[in-house]
Every structure is written in structure tokens, then in C-alpha cells.
Amino acid sequence: MKNTEVIVHTKFRISRVDPRIFGGFLEHMGRAVYEGVYDPGSLHADSEGCRKDVLEALRRLDMTVMRYPGGNFASGYHWQDGVGPRDKRPTVRELAWQSVETNHFGTEEYICLCRKMGWTPMLTVNLGTGNAEEARNWVEYCNCPLGTRYADMRGMNGHKEPHAVRLWCLGNEMDSPSQLGHVPAGQYAIRAQQAAKMMKDTDSSVELVACGSCAITLKSYMEWDREVLEHLGDFADYISLHRYVGNPDNDTADYLAVTSSIDRQIEEMDATCRFVQAKRRSGKRAYLCFDEWNVWYKNHELDGKGKVAPHLIEEIYNLEDALVVAGFLHSFIRHADVVKIANLAQAVNVIAPVITRGGDLLIQSIFYPFEMFSKRRSGTALRLSVDGPSYEGITNGRVHFIDASAILDESRLHVFLTNRSMDEEAEVCVVSADTAIASCESAEMLSAPDAKAANTFEDSSVVKPETFETFVIRDGRAYCLLPPLSFTAMTFRID
Ligand code: AHR
């Protein structure tokens, strides 16, 4: 393969990287909550019933915001079922996943977990079977000082101080015909506007995420977003995007090229936000909240068959999936000026980087690119130019073999490189046009013998990062030799 040059200039800045793009998602689905983060019966349980081994693993990802309680679950959830003495909470039929919900884990347990983990809470209100008043009551419960009904209910439940939840989603995937309470865009927009007004009237400091298109394949894609944004006006601080990708045709090259389609999805949604802002002649622009994203296509077990904590969509991830996860993160960094929040869906067991089996825990391949980026996330995203060979993906079009992003953190330059070639090493020269690369502080690389290699409980170290050593720094440039199908993260010192 011919050489590739990745060129940055420290003055060509996109925007500060919002740490909230390293968010996670915890839904009452399958074994995400029960047998995931919360498992009082486990030998790993702490005094609050949380699994210490799971939390220890998640701590390494340093997730910033944690979206809860769904997902589709949120569209049938009544938050009052999940507060108060545990033995008085109702056990209910859960319709989104045909499961049984005990409500043993609810608002208080979630907030307690957020505090333990340093996560910023992000709650999704029920705009499917719920209504505006129920949503605003939850805001009062969480955020208002004692002295009124729902705030006092929180006080009775042992929390005199408000939980101070700033980020709220106005429902989940309401554009999807399979969502509980799905309605056309115009009707959702009215519901969301009514809820937004009452929520902001209850606590003016809340930030709201309107439900945007959940799939680029739906007929209503973009038209839904336009209508919702126009009606919500200044109430929409953010609009959500969702994306799940996969490799059902077993075409690895095309699968790895999906990053260009993620770039396009972000740019299309941003264009809609700008269009509506211009049309409304408003000073306020809605930003993007990519609040569900991941690889998901192998496991479609969605029927909980009336069980508590059934095994649902416990996807097993391999090397190519991890490279696609790196692709999402490249894309978010390249669009740091518009993507302000993003949530890897999900955190544990359900399409997750971490999976449990009895008392055991497995770290999956997709854990590592998230960790490698997350460790190097602070700073300002830089525009970069990739000059090198490319190939044609059957559905995703022409892309460079090298996918890249970069973050400048004062005198540190973080560079992230994916080699999408299936069989060729890539010689990549990293150039900082206006400065010199002086030294390398850290460099690690994720690869494996083949695209389908995956970690298992029996062999948990098939796909894991290693120290990256095949590079030299010469004349202020870094010359790297990247193995085929690999992801490399490097932190340089620049002069
Ligand atoms: O993350 C799993 C599900 O995918 C979520 O509940 C839903 O919002 C999406 O369709």
C-alpha cells in the first residue's frame, strides 16, 4: 500500500471535545440493570447491591453521562413505581421487552450509582404512555427544594437535598412505529412541547433533548426532525440521533467504511438544525445528542417471555466491531462542533462492552477503542487531512484505508488511526504542519489475528490492546507502521 500522510495544524480547530460524548446508556432491558450493575445476590455485591466487578470495569471507560431508564422501556415506565420503600414497589408487566419489572432499582438507586461512578445523570421521561404532567412531576421530585409534594416525596425517601438532574430526554424513539405510544411527528411535537414547557417551568436549568429520527431508513427521516424542531423552538437544547450498524452480508471492507455514513448522518441532522434555526430567525440552535449508538446485528432476542432479567441481545463483539466502534468515535471528534453528547448503547450485558456470567465478567473487544479514546479525550478537536490510498465500499462508498481523528491538548497531540486494510500494513506519517512532533508519551494498538476474533470467557485476551512500538519520530514527524485491521491511539508531545 502507498504511504498515507495525516496532516494537522494546531490552529485549525473544530471545537473543544465535549466530554459528554463519552456517555453510556443503562436501560431496564434484559440483564443490564439486574445481574448487570445491580445484583444484591452476587458475591461481588457492595453494600448497596451494586456489582463491584462490573463497576470496576466500567470505571476504566470513564463514562461521563449515563442515560436511563431507556430506551423503549422508558415509553411505558411510570417513575413513581420505582421510588419509596422497595418492598412496597409494584412488580409490573413490562411491554417493550415482554419482561417483568420488579422496580427494585429505580430513581434513588440510579442516582446513588451515578454518584458512586461520577456519572452525570440523564433521564428519559415517558412520552409514550405517560404525559407532560408526569414528566414535570419527576423533575420536581429530582430537582426542587423540599416544601412541595414531589420534592417532599423525595425527602420522605431519605434525600433532603435535590438530585440536581440537568439533562432530560423528551421520550425515546417516538418516530418508530414499534414504540409504545408512537404518534406522527406533529402529535409528538405537541406532547414534547407541553412537557418541555412544564419541565422548564419547574426547573429552568434543565436541558432538554428532543426525540429525533431513530433510523436513517425510516420514511419520516429528516421530515420528523424538521417538524419537531420547528414546533419545539427554543425548548429543544438538543435533538437525538440513534444508529446501530452491522455486517450482515459479511463484507468487512464495506462494514469498516460505514464511518462515512455516520459522518453523513451527523451532517444531515446538523443541516436540519441550522435550517430550522434560520427559518425561525432564532439565535438558538439545537445541538446533536447521539444518545444511542453501537454495533448491533447478530442477536435479535427481544422477547423477555415474562421473565425478570431475561437474556436479551447479548451481542458478542469481535475485532471488526471494535474497529467500527472506533469509527463512531472518530466521527464524533471530527464533528465536535455539533455533537455535544453521545451514549454508547449500552453499558453492560445488553449490546455491551462488558458482559457477566454468574460471578464472572468478560471485557469485550468494543471496550478497548472506547477506553483508548476516553483516556485521551481532553482538548480541542483538530481538522485533519488524510492523503493516501482509498477503496470503494459497496454500500458506503469510497473511503481512505486510514480513518483518523486528532485532539490537541495544549502541548499534547492525541492522534487516533484505524487501518481498514484487511491484509496490508500501512505506512502512515503524522505531520503537524505548524509544529514539530517531539516525542511520544504513550501509544497503544488494538488488533487480532483476524476480523472475527473475539474474546470469550474461556479466552479473554484474544482482542486487547498492546503497546505500539512500530513508529519512529524523525524531523518533527511520526512515521508509523500500522498492522492490517488495527486501531492505534498515540499521544505526542509537540514543540
Ligand atoms: O438499545 C436497545 C434499544 O434500541 C433501545 O431500547 C431503543 O431505543 C433502541 O431501538
> How many residues does this entry show for the chain?
495
Q: In this structure, which residue's CA is closest to atom 6 in ligand 1?
A: 71
Say yes or no: 308 and 409 in one domain. no
Residue to substitute in 292, 314, 346 for testing ligand 1 pocket (most ligand atoms within 8 angstroms of CB): 292
- Which is the catalytic residue, given 94, 101, 109, 292? 292
Contacts of 474 (CB under 8 A, 6+ apart): none
Ligand 1: centre distance to CA 72 (Å) = 6
Is the shortest distance between the CB of 172 and ligand 1 below 6 Å?
A: yes
The atom of ligand 1 lying closest to the CA of 73 is 6
Ligand 1: centre distance to CA 160 (Å) = 33
Say yes or no: 387 and 360 in one domain. no
Is the shortest distance between the CB of 240 and ligand 1 below 6 Å?
A: no
The H or E element containing residue 143 is: helix 132-143
* Contact (Cβ atoms closer than 8 angstroms) between residue 382 and residue 376: no
* Listed residue (69, 44, 74) closest to 58, CA to CA: 44
The atom of ligand 1 lying closest to the CA of 214 is 10
Say yes or no: 288 and 401 in one domain. no
Say yes or no: 366 and 395 in one domain. no
Q: Which of 362, 377, 392 is the last residue of a domain?
A: 377
Is the shortest distance between the CB of 291 and ligand 1 below 6 Å?
A: no
Q: In this structure, which residue's CA is closest to atom 7 in ligand 1?
A: 71
Say yes or no: 123 and 189 in one domain. yes
What CATH number corresponds to the domain at position 358? 3.20.20.80
Say yes or no: 64 and 173 in one domain. yes
Is the bond into 24 cis (omega within 30 degrees of 0)? no
Q: Which of 351, 377, 403 is the last residue of a domain?
A: 377
- Which is the catalytic residue, given 173, 314, 315, 320? 173
Say yes or no: 28 and 136 in one domain. yes
**CA-to-CA dists, residue 121 to 25, 118, 143, 340, 396, angstroms:** 10, 9, 12, 15, 35
Q: Which of 377, 403, 419 is the last residue of a domain?
A: 377
Q: What is the pLDDT of residue 15?
A: 98
Residue to substitute in 28, 33, 173 for testing ligand 1 pocket (most ligand atoms within 8 angstroms of CB): 173
Residue to substitute in 72, 175, 241, 314 for testing ligand 1 pocket (most ligand atoms within 8 angstroms of CB): 72
Put simply, whether the predicted model's pTM sits higher than 0.95 gets the answer yes
Q: Compute the Cα dihedral for 255, 381, 236, 29 and give only its sign.
A: positive
The type of residue at 99 is: S
Domain that holds residue 239: 18-377
Say yes or no: 368 and 430 in one domain. no
Q: What is the pLDDT of residues 71-87, one digit of tens each?
A: 999 999 999 999 999 99
Is the shortest distance between the CB of 349 and ligand 1 below 6 Å?
A: no
Say yes or no: 395 and 475 in one domain. yes
- Maximum C-alpha span of the chain: 69
- Please confirm, yes or no, whether 173 is among the known catalytic residues: yes
- Please confirm, yes or no, whether 410 is among the known catalytic residues: no
Q: What is the pLDDT of residues 314-368, one digit of tens each?
A: 999 999 999 999 999 999 999 999 999 999 999 999 999 999 999 999 999 999 9
Place of cell 409528538: 188
The atom of ligand 1 lying closest to the CA of 292 is 1
Say yes or no: 260 and 144 in one domain. yes
What CATH number corresponds to the domain at position 414? 2.60.40.1180
| Three-state secondary-structure class, residue 10 | strand
Is the shortest distance between the CB of 70 and ligand 1 below 6 Å?
A: yes
Is the shortest distance between the CB of 318 and ligand 1 below 6 Å?
A: no
Say yes or no: 118 and 40 in one domain. yes
Say yes or no: 355 and 422 in one domain. no
For every residue of 318-375, DSSP letters joined together read BHHHHHHHHHHHHHHHHTTTTEEEEEES-SBSSS-SEEEETTEEEE-TTHHHHHHHHT
Q: What is the pLDDT of residues 451-471, one digit of tens each?
A: 999 999 999 999 999 999 999
**pLDDT lower than 50: segments of the chain:** none
Domain count, the chain: 2
Ligand 1: centre distance to CA 228 (Å) = 20
The atom of ligand 1 lying closest to the CA of 74 is 6
Which one-letter DSSP state was computed for residue 453?
-
What is the rounded CA–CA span in Å between residue 251 and residue 18?
33
The atom of ligand 1 lying closest to the CA of 70 is 6
Ligand 1: centre distance to CA 471 (Å) = 41
Q: What is the pLDDT of residue 2?
A: 85
Q: In this structure, which residue's CA is closest to atom 5 in ligand 1?
A: 71
The atom of ligand 1 lying closest to the CA of 72 is 6
Ligand 1: centre distance to CA 437 (Å) = 43
Q: What is the pLDDT of residue 1?
A: 76
Ligand 1: centre distance to CA 374 (Å) = 23
